Amino acid sequence: MSRMSFSFKKLLLQCFSTMKGFELLRFLRRRSLTILVYHRFSNREEPFKLRIDRFERQIQFFKDKYNIIPLNQYLRALDGKCSLPINPLIVTIDDGYWDNYKIAFSVLQRHSVPATIFLSTDFINQRAWLWSNKLEYILKNSKFERFTYNLANKSMEFQVDSFSTWHKSQLTIFNILRQSPDQEKNEILNDLARFLKVVVPSETQGDFLPLTWKEIRTMHRSGIDFGSHSCSHAILSRVTSQRLHREIVLSKEKIQQELQWPVTSFCYPNGQPEDYSYEVIKCLKNSGYGCAVTTVRGLNYAPSGQRFELKRLAVSAEYEPQISRQLI
């Protein structure tokens, strides 16, 4: 590539990173559906959480630039029962942490924005650990700042003496464990806790607490919808057929029982293509779900959308121009 063509390409990318470039693409993509995914919220600056004032600015930005709709409206459109506005957008939140109600809910209420929260029902019912949270707790409470541990048949060196080293260690272990069968994953986490001399409480505590059913019912009465995120947040492509049925069916039944309302949407734990399969999708269809969302980045198109492999965008930017660059 010549220096001139490289410079032109760089200039073109810079133009499309501006609000004008965003507005042009928004027009060209006006018939596509954008689904956003959020997880955690905070009143202050914290790792892996979105500060609430930034969340409110984002919601205002999306209200100004898009038509925010509930997920079930998209399902009705796929079934030919209604049409969609131009530039439709859906807000989703995964897992069901306490801060969804205590912090984020007030913003959604204030702006009259519908959203779908995907619940892992063992997390809600029993305050059972999500395995990724259990890993986080173990590493944060380790009695050692550096250690050697055998994973994937290999001796590996880890550090947890700062945020950056802790985060790197967490990601490395997470990516290995998510490819392991569920039972093996739990055995490794329990062994790691013993090795690092960490006593993991039988139930989640503090910042790892879930929503309560009372809070969930309160939000539901105010227009927030709820879907299933499985029972235990297991990687569904790694479980037995019997376990798969439990994760998909029992979670749906529990939410419906608590809300007296049909559950039509599902969110794959972790949500990458290797984390679900044809068997998982078949089980969802047979269990009465109408759609499922992934964490694969991208937009969706109606009426021919892949309703059991809906793509989403994770947004963490603070100001409008930064948000627009993430959506291009």
- DSSP, collapsed to helix, strand or coil, labels residue 235 as coil
Q: Name the residue ranges covered by the structural domains of the chain.
A: 19-127+209-327, 131-195
Q: Do you find a cis peptide bond into 210, omega within 30 degrees of 0?
A: no
Q: pLDDT tens-digit profile of 211-258?
A: 999 999 999 999 999 999 999 999 999 999 999 999 999 999 999 999
Asked if residues 66 and 31 have their Cβ atoms less than 8 Å apart, the reply is no
The mean pLDDT value of the chain amounts to 90
Give CA separation, 68 vs 132, 172, 318, in Å: 31, 36, 19
Q: pLDDT tens-digit profile of 3-58?
A: 545 454 555 555 555 667 778 777 777 889 999 999 999 999 888 899 999 999 99
Q: pLDDT tens-digit profile of 246-293?
A: 999 999 999 999 999 999 999 999 999 999 999 999 999 999 999 999
Q: pLDDT tens-digit profile of 181-221?
A: 888 898 999 999 999 999 999 999 999 999 999 999 999 99
- Distance, in Å, from the CA atom of 327 to the CA atom of 22, rounded to the nearest integer, reads 8
Non-local CB neighbours of 190 within 8 Å, separated by 6+ positions = 200
Give CA separation, 328 vs 28, 31, 61, in Å: 11, 15, 15
- Distance, in Å, from the CA atom of 162 to the CA atom of 154, rounded to the nearest integer, reads 24
Strands (E), 152-289: 154-159, 225-228, 265-267
pLDDT band of 72, cuts 50, 70, 90 = very high
How do 291-297 and 265-267 pair as beta strands? parallel
The CATH number of domain 19-127+209-327, selected from 3.20.20.370, 3.30.160.110, 2.40.30.10, 3.40.50.150: 3.20.20.370
Amino acid at 61: F
Q: pLDDT tens-digit profile of 133-179?
A: 999 999 999 999 999 999 988 999 999 999 899 999 999 999 999 88
Angle at the Cα of 29 from the Cα atoms of 28 and 34, rounded to 5 degrees: 160
- Distance, in Å, from the CA atom of 124 to the CA atom of 107, rounded to the nearest integer, reads 22
Count CB atoms within 10 A of the CB of residue 260. 8
Using CA of residue 40, residue 276, residue 116, residue 253, what is the dihedral sign?
negative
Question: What number of residues does the chain have?
Answer: 328
- Distance, in Å, from the CA atom of 141 to the CA atom of 119, rounded to the nearest integer, reads 27
Non-local CB neighbours of 171 within 8 Å, separated by 6+ positions = none
pLDDT band of 309, cuts 50, 70, 90 = very high
- DSSP, collapsed to helix, strand or coil, labels residue 240 as coil
- Distance, in Å, from the CA atom of 90 to the CA atom of 161, rounded to the nearest integer, reads 39
Question: How big is the chain by its Cα radius of gyration, in Å?
Answer: 21
Residue 178, pLDDT score? 87
This prediction's pTM: 0.91
Residue 8, pLDDT score? 47
- Can you name the residues that pair with 121 across neighbouring β-strands? none
Asked if residues 265 and 293 have their Cβ atoms less than 8 Å apart, the reply is yes
